[in-house]
């Protein structure tokens, strides 16, 4: 037993700090007669100190204190002089080292937990107006419009169309922070409120938002295009909203698409089909995040029970007992989302939701952005997008097919080493700045995109 204890201590230390070189230990008598006293005599360290040391190593590992800070990594297939390259070169933030808050900011888990709590957490400014649009199925779509606080330097009327993450709205702190910073830079912001996400705004049809449905976003942009006939759009999505944004830019008609200057996807997973087994893994605590997301969705459904649940139970579409007992988003999708949206199988529902198979059809200049330490979206989900940007260009140089390469000329992929899921808090002290790194990135990207693409 003494040998097992010592092996456990050494193994844990080696796992927690791989750079820690532990000297070989001499053989010691750990028989019943010798007992653990021989072990303690050998290392000459009290058991309480060993336990404290293990806790210290666990904290160091969790906080990623040994992780260095770096600049964002940019992947693009285009040559110097191309428009996307010009956009990227004109963004000073890409030449800066992203420095998360001291002590805790290198942890993707803490960044993820903090994104909805910090930033402009006390900023309570309301929208200039809330627009309600009745959909063909009876749903009452709402979006909030925030007018710019200054004139944009370009003199162009510009509107950012923001699509939040799952069950989020314009009242989410990270959206509020981004909106306020963009307003100060001269941008009008329109934020889509996902159906069922707002307290005090009842559903008027038996549906909530869906992961892959673009009709609500299309209605918002169409309404804005009519209300502001001279405006140009930049479409930005966060997490689930980034998937919706990408699909919208691919599926929408040319009349609308021609007014979109640029697109940005932040922290999306790209493929619902590929994520199924990943969300059940305990690696990086994804199973715990899966449970939290599921509980949030169930809370939203309970709040909207009369419209979102009761009609489907009456029709025999839903098994209410299975719904409330779901502990994973996959189980919830099987019991609720795929059935309410009219799909025969979960696989067909996920295929419909995913934007990854459609990326080759993208005709709007766009940047895809992910964090390497995102505990919810692992590398295996965003790596195919990064590869898809470079591979066509490499193949084209070999087979002399420039048409193949041109499909990716207006697309870039960017990652940061830190930031978590929608976190990206930064600062040189323990307390983060009120404006996040991703807020600054968005405004610089928009300014650069307007200079390059907005002068058509």
Q: Which of 374, 410, 439, 447 is catalytic?
A: 374
CA distance 415 to 208: 32
Q: In angstroms, what CA-CA distances link 240 with 118, 167, 214, 439?
A: 21, 9, 12, 18
Tell me the CATH class for 73-202+213-271+354-453. alpha beta
pLDDT of residue 21: 44
Those residues of the chain that have pLDDT short of 50 are 1-3, 5-6, 8-10, 12-23, 25, 28, 30, 32, 120, 396-406
Residue ranges of E strands in 316-392: 366-371
Q: What is the pLDDT of residues 95-104, one digit of tens each?
A: 999 999 988 9
Contacts for 293-298 with beta carbons within 8 Å, 24 or more apart? 293/166, 293/329, 294/326, 294/327, 294/328, 294/329, 294/331, 294/332, 296/166, 296/167, 297/166, 297/167, 297/329, 297/332, 298/323, 298/324, 298/326, 298/332
pLDDT of residue 397: 47
Q: Which residues contact 195 (CB under 8 A, 6 or more apart)?
A: 139, 141, 203, 207, 208, 209, 216
Q: Which of 421, 439, 447, 448 is catalytic?
A: 421
CA distance 281 to 220: 37
Residue ranges of E strands in 147-231: 158-163, 188-193
pLDDT of residue 127: 80
374 is catalytic: yes
Q: Which of 170, 210, 239, 388 is catalytic?
A: 239
**What sign does the dihedral 200-202-207-209 (CA atoms) show?**
negative
Whole-prediction pTM: 0.86
312 is catalytic: no
Tell me the chain's radius of gyration from C-alpha atoms. Answer: 25
418 is catalytic: no
pLDDT of residue 49: 76
- Beta carbons of 270 and 385 less than 8 angstroms apart: yes
Q: In angstroms, what CA-CA distances link 405 with 78, 250, 396?
A: 8, 18, 6
Q: What is the pLDDT of residues 217-259, one digit of tens each?
A: 999 999 999 999 999 999 999 999 999 999 999 999 999 999 9
Please report which helix (H) or strand (E) contains residue 211, including its range. Answer: none
How many other C-beta atoms lie within 10 A of the C-beta of residue 281? 12
pLDDT of residue 290: 96
Find tokens 């966060």 and name the residue: 238
CA distance 339 to 343: 6
Question: So where are the chain's domains?
Answer: 2-63, 73-202+213-271+354-453, 273-352
Q: Report the SS3 class of residue 33.
A: coil
């Amino acid at each position: 037993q003494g040998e097992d204890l010592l092996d456990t201590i050494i193994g844990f230390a080696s796992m927690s700090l791989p750079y820690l070189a532990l000297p070989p230990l001499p053989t010691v008598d750990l028989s019943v007669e010798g007992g653990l006293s021989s072990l303690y005599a050998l290392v000459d360290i009290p058991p309480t100190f060993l336990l404290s040391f293990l806790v210290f190593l666990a904290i160091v590992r969790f906080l990623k204190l040994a992780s260095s800070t770096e600049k964002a990594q940019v992947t693009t297939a285009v040559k110097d002089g191309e428009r996307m390259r010009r956009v990227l070169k004109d963004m000073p933030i890409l030449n800066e080292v992203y420095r998360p808050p001291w002590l805790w900011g290198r942890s993707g888990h803490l960044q993820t937990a903090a994104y909805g709590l910090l930033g402009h957490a006390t900023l309570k400014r309301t929208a200039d107006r809330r627009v309600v649009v009745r959909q063909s199925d009876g749903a009452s779509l709402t979006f909030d419009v925030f007018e710019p606080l200054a004139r944009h330097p370009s003199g162009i009327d510009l509107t950012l169309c923001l699509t939040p993450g799952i069950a989020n709205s314009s009242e989410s702190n990270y959206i509020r922070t981004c909106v306020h910073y963009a307003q100060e830079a001269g941008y009008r912001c329109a934020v889509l409120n996902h159906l069922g996400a707002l307290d005090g705004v009842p559903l008027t049809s038996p549906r909530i938002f869906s992961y892959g449905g673009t009709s609500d976003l299309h209605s918002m942009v169409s309404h804005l295009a009519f209300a502001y006939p001279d405006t140009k759009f930049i479409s930005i999505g966060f997490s689930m909203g980034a998937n919706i944004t990408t699909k919208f830019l691919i599926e929408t008609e040319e009349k609308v698409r021609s007014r979109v200057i640029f697109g940005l996807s932040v922290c999306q997973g790209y493929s619902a089909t590929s994520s199924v087994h990943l969300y059940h893994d305990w690696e990086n605590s994804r199973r715990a995040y899966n449970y939290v997301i599921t509980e949030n969705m169930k809370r939203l459904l309970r709040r909207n029970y009369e419209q979102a649940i009761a009609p489907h139970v009456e029709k025999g579409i839903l098994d209410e007992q299975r719904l409330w007992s779901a502990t994973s988003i996959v189980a919830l999708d099987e019991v609720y989302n795929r059935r309410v949206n009219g799909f025969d199988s979960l696989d067909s529902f996920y295929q419909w939701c995913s934007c990854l198979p459609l990326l080759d059809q993208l005709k709007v200049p766009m940047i895809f952005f992910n964090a390497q330490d995102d505990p919810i979206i692992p590398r295996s989900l965003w790596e195919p997008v990064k590869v898809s940007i470079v591979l066509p260009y490499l193949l084209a140089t070999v087979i002399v097919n420039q048409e193949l390469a041109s499909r990716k000329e207006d697309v870039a992929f960017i990652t940061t080493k830190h930031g978590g899921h929608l976190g990206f808090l930064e600062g040189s002290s323990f307390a983060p700045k009120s404006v996040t790194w991703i807020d600054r990135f968005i405004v610089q990207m928009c300014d650069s995109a307007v200079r390059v693409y907005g002068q058509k």
